[in-house]
Amino acid sequence: MSMAPVKLWDFHGGIHPEQNKLQSTTEPSALAQLPKKLVLPLHQHIGEAAEPIVEIGDTVLKGQKIANANGYVSAPVHAPTSGKIIDISEHPIPHPSGLSALAIVIEPDGRDAWVEYTPDQDYSEKNPSHLRNIIREAGIVGLGGAGFPSFIKLNPGSQKKIKTLILNGVECEPYITCDDMLMREDAHSIIEGVHIMRHALQAEECVIAIEDNKPEAYESICKAAAGIAGLRVALVPTRYPQGSEKQLVQVITGKEVPSNGLALHIGVVCHNVATAAAIYRAIHLGQPLISRMVTITGQAVKQPRNLEVLIGTPMDELLQQCGAEFDQIERLVMGGPMMGFALHEINLPVIKTTNCIIAATREELGLDRPAMPCIRCGACADVCPVKLLPQQLYWHARAKELDKVQEYDLFDCIECGCCSYVCPSNIPLVQYYRFAKGAIWTQEQEHKKSDQARERHEFRLMRIEREKREREAKRAKKKAPRPKTDTAKPPPVDGAQMADKMRQEAMAQRDSAEAARKTEIQAALARVQAKKKDAAPKTDAPVAANSPTPAAASTQASTPTSDSDSSADTATHKDHEQSQ
Ligand code: SF4
Ligand code: SF4
């Protein structure tokens, strides 16, 4: 069954730089040698860095997960071979900043022993969510260079209908040939990956796009895709930057991805061919992403070629394997000469997004051409695929007029480098745009920080003001006169008044107690007198009333009774009364 042709569309601008691809495609790809150690950065993708789940001294098996994804936009990391964890610390990583980041270091044991894994042959029976979970756990990210977690791009949401899945085999940037070799040598894995991706996206159709400078790859893919319903292969004319997502979507569908929008918004999802192959291995074989194809090239390399490389392999070992003349390397670039970036060290590890390493000599990258003033020729605008005005962007970026560069849609710039490439004055335009983007980003961070500080300060002032008002309200409440009602409490008295009042009450109580006691004493004395009177011999001598006999008086003084206690109390009380 012959394949239906794909109608192609055009995009604005673009260039035809020297390809420099043949050098690395003369030999078939090969396996890279097992290195002495593997350095696995925890941040090899767009999103949050992964979190280690192993410790120094642990032994691990090939394919064993060693770091978990940290959040939704993140990806786990797996051991590329069996061995021992010998370090978990900061290591230099391949990044334009030249900074270091946390990495897990494995010393291979040479056995290359796999962890137990579960292949899933009948993926078509599984729901898309199940497949996305496997892809996520396998740590698969976009292998075209972006590094965005692939499971997210396979999840359009229940509201969005995906009509077309575009598989990007364009590989338009000079020097890079890893996708070309993969399509030539392993078309089967790519096509199997397409089936899984279509199922996950529930996409109506798939178009695999390949530039016409890769005839072997085109032939190989066409052969593997023959007879598959809804799958077509498009041979597109070679032009840089056709492999950029927005440009490719336009070429294949005729639709323009809106500014600040995604291809998803017009019913299209785009993935790289190498990502499709990695998804096939994750689902059918149960293998996580632990290796990838890397192009080792540049004039300082004697045997440029493609190698299947374990993630974490130091680049200098790969260069050595390809016969690099280290003293000839003027600049080491990761990615292509247009969108790649210079590396600060030679022994940095290969990460999931390393598609190409260029060991360039001084002449090779035109490093000797000095920049000259802009002659306002307009050539840069003619080639800009996003229809920007690169010359205006350059002036404003140079003058650090950050508001103006944004007015000229700086953030729509895909940093393709077409403008720099054609500039007769050799102005490194993209570097100015990157600088301006970085400055805007820094400024926004600083604004955000100062906004937060201002909010904190305003909140503190508000709190102080509120507490002050509350204190004043309490004080005013205390001072306010009490309402005059029957049930109202007596007005507050001060301390002296209160003390007087208590003293008066105590004295009143004491006086009444004394009066009661005096009454009791007098009654007791009366009773005693009455008894004496009854007991005394009847004489004629007159006895004074209430006068005790001498004996009785003596007995009363020496033998205390309850009554005598009362007498003592009475005497004491009398003394007290006299002292007052
Ligand atoms: S191509 Fe270079 S010289 Fe020409 S207008 Fe653009 S920046 Fe100026
Ligand atoms: S680098 Fe930016 S401004 Fe220059 S051509 Fe590419 S998209 Fe346009």
The string of DSSP letters for 509-537 reads HHHHHHHHHHHHHHHHHHHHHHHHHHHS-
Instruction: Decide if 76 contacts 102 (C-beta within 8 A).
Output: no
Ligand 1 atom closest to the Cα of residue 429 is 7
361: Cβ contacts below 8 Å, ≥ 6 apart? 298, 299, 300, 328, 329, 330
Question: What does the pLDDT read at residue 485?
Answer: 53
Instruction: Write the single-letter amino acid at 365.
Output: L
Q: Is 384 in the pocket of ligand 2 (CB under 6 A)?
A: yes
Q: Is 317 exposed, middle or buried (0-12, 13-18, 19+ CB in 10 A)?
A: middle
Q: Is 172 in the pocket of ligand 1 (CB under 6 A)?
A: no
What φ, ψ does residue 573 adopt, rounded to 5°?
-60, -35
Q: Is 138 in the pocket of ligand 1 (CB under 6 A)?
A: no
Instruction: Decide if 277 contacts 190 (C-beta within 8 A).
Output: yes
- Domain map (residue ranges) of the chain: 22-360, 379-441
Q: Is 425 in the pocket of ligand 1 (CB under 6 A)?
A: yes
What φ, ψ does residue 270 adopt, rounded to 5°?
-120, 125
Output the residue whose Cα is nearest ligand 2's atom 2.
413
C-alpha of residue 355 to centroid of ligand 1, in Å: 31
CA dist., res. 172 & res. 181, Å (int) = 14
The whole model's pTM is what?
0.77
Output the residue whose Cα is nearest ligand 1's atom 4.
377
Q: Is 384 in the pocket of ligand 1 (CB under 6 A)?
A: no
Output the residue whose Cα is nearest ligand 2's atom 4.
419
Q: Note down pLDDT in tens along the chain; length 580 residues.
A: 567 789 999 999 999 999 999 999 999 999 999 999 999 999 998 999 999 999 999 999 999 999 999 999 999 999 999 999 999 999 999 998 888 999 999 999 999 999 988 777 788 888 899 999 999 999 999 999 789 999 999 998 877 899 999 999 999 999 999 999 999 999 999 999 999 999 999 999 999 999 999 999 999 999 999 999 999 999 999 999 999 999 999 999 999 998 878 999 999 999 999 999 999 999 999 999 999 999 999 999 999 999 999 999 999 999 999 999 999 999 999 999 999 999 999 999 999 999 999 999 988 877 667 899 999 999 999 999 999 999 999 999 999 999 999 999 999 999 999 999 999 999 999 999 999 999 999 988 888 888 888 888 888 888 888 899 999 998 888 888 766 555 545 455 454 565 566 667 667 766 766 777 777 767 777 776 776 666 544 433 333 333 333 333 333 333 333 333 333 333 333 333 333 3
Q: Is 418 in the pocket of ligand 2 (CB under 6 A)?
A: yes
CA dist., res. 34 & res. 11, Å (int) = 43
**Record: fold of 22-360:** Rossmann fold (3.40.50)
CA dist., res. 68 & res. 49, Å (int) = 9
Q: Is 194 in the pocket of ligand 2 (CB under 6 A)?
A: no
Q: Is 391 in the pocket of ligand 1 (CB under 6 A)?
A: yes
CA dist., res. 328 & res. 330, Å (int) = 6
Instruction: Decide if 529 contacts 546 (C-beta within 8 A).
Output: yes
Cα 370 → chain centroid: 41
Instruction: Decide if 355 contacts 144 (C-beta within 8 A).
Output: yes
Output the residue whose Cα is nearest ligand 1's atom 1.
423
- Length of the chain as a residue count: 580
C-alpha of residue 370 to centroid of ligand 1, in Å: 14
What φ, ψ does residue 87 adopt, rounded to 5°?
-165, 145
C-alpha of residue 119 to centroid of ligand 2, in Å: 44
Ligand 2 atom closest to the Cα of residue 418 is 5
Q: Is 378 in the pocket of ligand 1 (CB under 6 A)?
A: yes
Question: What does the pLDDT read at residue 573?
Answer: 38
Q: Is 38 in the pocket of ligand 2 (CB under 6 A)?
A: no
C-alpha of residue 526 to centroid of ligand 1, in Å: 136
- How many other CB atoms are found less than 10 A from the CB of residue 13? 21
Instruction: Decide if 141 contacts 46 (C-beta within 8 A).
Output: yes
C-alpha of residue 18 to centroid of ligand 2, in Å: 18
Which residue's structure tokens are 């979507």? 249
Ligand 2 atom closest to the Cα of residue 13 is 5
CA dist., res. 473 & res. 461, Å (int) = 18
Output the residue whose Cα is nearest ligand 1's atom 5.
376
C-alpha of residue 337 to centroid of ligand 2, in Å: 15
CA dihedral 528, 532, 535, 541 (to 10 degrees): -170
Instruction: Decide if 44 contacts 141 (C-beta within 8 A).
Output: yes
Query: Positive or negative CA dihedral for 466, 471, 474, 475?
Result: negative
CA dist., res. 534 & res. 74, Å (int) = 118
Q: Is 379 in the pocket of ligand 1 (CB under 6 A)?
A: yes
Q: Which ligand is nearest to the CA of 389?
A: 2
Q: Which ligand is nearest to the CA of 379?
A: 1
Q: Is 375 in the pocket of ligand 1 (CB under 6 A)?
A: yes
Q: Which ligand is nearest to the CA of 372?
A: 1
Q: Is 388 in the pocket of ligand 2 (CB under 6 A)?
A: yes
Q: Which ligand is nearest to the CA of 15?
A: 2
Output the residue whose Cα is nearest ligand 2's atom 8.
384
